[in-house]
């Protein structure tokens, strides 16, 4: 019965994906703009001339995003450094039904994700979006894929497939971005980025819901906000405020949703500088919150002496369905962007 249910879910998901591809709208003539050029390198950029373009506004927003991301990345690297003292009571673990794995590697990947996003933002300020920026931008997405793979493997690197899949992903994305002509290079990069952006909050929500369900049914875990100092006893800095386990996962969910929302808006309104600026401010919100989660996970203890995230026991077909629907949602968001672009062309013709 379970196998039939799984096969049916995969088939239905593939059918929906096929339907989306068949009815995907075609861009009208004029909806795909001529490539703008980078202000500093002169290379073609992955966008046309933005409506209402103001270089001072763009640089201010992007610069602030880079600054905030750099601070968040620097602090995250410190908190996840192997030499950074984390008392045993403050160590969280993943439990997949058979293995207990500390979240140490997960937090470290999250810290690298924040830091390399900062590098990608810095590269944007210098190179603008384009083929030259691709080598930096792909690393932002690669850490998202690495986090998803790690959670799929129960919070640990089980085998060499982790590295094989990650390397293959980076190689394929870079190769397509380098060799495909405009606008296909930018389209493919945007599409694959949206796929991981949709998958990440979905997985975080599943972990939160499963852990919350387990805690309600089998345990009573409340995490007091205890600031950890250089002692394993954690007797200092006790405050009356508490966090009900697993609400400390909410920052992960919120940050990933905000980032995805900003990417969606920038996809819908490709020619709008305002939409891109909103996307930049989503970075300003999301990545400090990711860093805040790392701080919570490494500085606060659990009253029951066990900090554990319960990964759902699910068959492979569920992960396949999640992947397919992430692809579907990415295509749908891009389809909406094409429709909006076509309508803009129609409005411009009517105004002439």
Q: How many domains does the chain have?
A: 1
Give the whole-number percent of the chain exceeding pLDDT 90: 68
More confident residue, 28 or 207: 207
* Residue 3 is assigned to a structural domain of this protein: no
In the block, tokens 């506004």 appear at: 57
Q: Which domain holds residue 331?
A: 53-351
**Is the CB of residue 16 less than 8 Å from the CB of residue 328?**
yes
Q: Identify the pLDDT of residue 108.
A: 97
Span 267-281, pLDDT tens digits: 999 999 999 999 999
Q: Identify the pLDDT of residue 33.
A: 84
Tokens of 153: 């493997």
Residue 230 has pLDDT above 90, yes or no: no
pLDDT band at 302 (very low <50, low <70, confident <90, very high): low
* Residue 212 is assigned to a structural domain of this protein: yes
* Residue 22 is assigned to a structural domain of this protein: no
3-state secondary structure the chain: CHHHHHHHHHHHHHHHHHHHHHCCCCCCCCCCCCCCECCCCCCECCCCCCECCCHHHHHHHHHHHHHHHHHHHHHHHHHHCCCCCCCHHHCEEEECCCCEEECHHHHHHHHHHHHHHHHHHHHHHHHCCCHHHHHHHHHHHHHHHHHHHHHHCCCCCCCCHHHHHHHHHHHHHHHHHHHCCCCHHHHHHHHHHHHHHHHHHHHHHHHHHHHHHHHHHHCCCEEEEECCCCCCCCCCCEEEEEEECCHHHHHHHHHHHHHHHHHHHHHHCCCEHHHHHHHHHHHHHHHHHHHHHHHHHHHCCCCCCCEEEECCCCCHHHHHHHHHHHHHHHHHHHHHHHHHHHHHHHHHHHHC
* Residue 309 is assigned to a structural domain of this protein: yes
More confident residue, 218 or 202: 202
Instruction: Name all contacts of 91-94 with Cβ < 8 Å and 24+ positions apart.
Output: 91/307, 92/297, 92/307, 92/308, 92/309, 93/155, 93/306, 93/307, 93/308, 93/309, 94/151, 94/154, 94/155, 94/156, 94/308, 94/309, 94/311
Span 96-137, pLDDT tens digits: 888 899 999 999 999 999 999 999 999 999 999 999 999 999
More confident residue, 40 or 164: 164
Residue 233 has pLDDT above 50, yes or no: no
Residue 295 has pLDDT above 50, yes or no: yes
Residue 231 has pLDDT above 70, yes or no: no
pLDDT band at 86 (very low <50, low <70, confident <90, very high): confident
Span 11-67, pLDDT tens digits: 999 999 999 999 999 998 777 888 999 998 999 999 988 988 999 999 999 999 999
Cross-strand pairs, 226: 238
pLDDT band at 237 (very low <50, low <70, confident <90, very high): very low
- Global pTM reads 0.90
* Residue 216 is assigned to a structural domain of this protein: yes
pLDDT band at 240 (very low <50, low <70, confident <90, very high): very low
Q: Identify the pLDDT of residue 244.
A: 65
């Amino acid at each position: 019965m379970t196998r039939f249910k799984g096969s049916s879910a995969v088939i239905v998901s593939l059918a929906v994906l096929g339907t989306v591809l068949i009815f995907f709208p075609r861009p009208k003539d004029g909806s795909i703009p001529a490539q703008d050029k980078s202000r500093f390198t002169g290379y073609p950029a992955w966008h046309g001339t933005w409506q209402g373009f103001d270089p001072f506004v763009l640089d201010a927003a992007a610069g602030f995003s880079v600054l905030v991301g750099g601070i968040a990345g620097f602090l995250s690297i410190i908190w996840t450094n192997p030499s950074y003292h984390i008392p045993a009571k403050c160590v969280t673990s993943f439990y997949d039904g058979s293995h207990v794995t500390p979240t140490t590697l997960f937090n470290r990947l999250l810290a690298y994700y924040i830091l390399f996003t900062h590098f990608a933002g810095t590269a944007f300020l210098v190179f603008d979006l384009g083929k030259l920026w691709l080598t930096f931008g792909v690393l932002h997405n690669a850490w998202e894929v690495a986090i998803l793979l790690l959670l799929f493997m129960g919070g640990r690197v089980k085998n060499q497939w982790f590295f094989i899949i990650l390397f293959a992903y980076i190689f394929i994305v870079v190769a397509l971005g380098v060799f495909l002509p405009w606008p296909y290079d930018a389209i493919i990069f945007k599409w694959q980025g949206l796929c991981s952006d949709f998958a990440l909050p979905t997985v975080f929500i599943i972990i939160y819901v499963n852990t919350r369900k387990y805690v309600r049914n089998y345990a009573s875990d409340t995490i007091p906000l205890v600031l950890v100092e250089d002692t394993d006893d954690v007797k200092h800095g006790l405050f009356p405020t508490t966090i009900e386990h697993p609400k400390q996962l909410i920052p992960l969910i919120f940050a990933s949703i905000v980032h995805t929302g900003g990417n969606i808006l920038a996809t819908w309104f490709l020619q709008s500088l305002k939409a891109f600026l909103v996307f930049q401010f989503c970075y300003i919100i999301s990545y400090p919150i990711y860093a805040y989660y790392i701080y919570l996970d490494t500085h606060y203890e659990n009253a029951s002496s066990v900090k554990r995230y319960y990964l759902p026991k699910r068959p492979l077909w569920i992960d396949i369905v999640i992947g397919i629907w992430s692809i579907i949602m990415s295509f749908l968001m891009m389809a909406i962007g094409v429709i909006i672009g076509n309508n803009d062309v129609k409005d411009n013709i009517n105004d002439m």
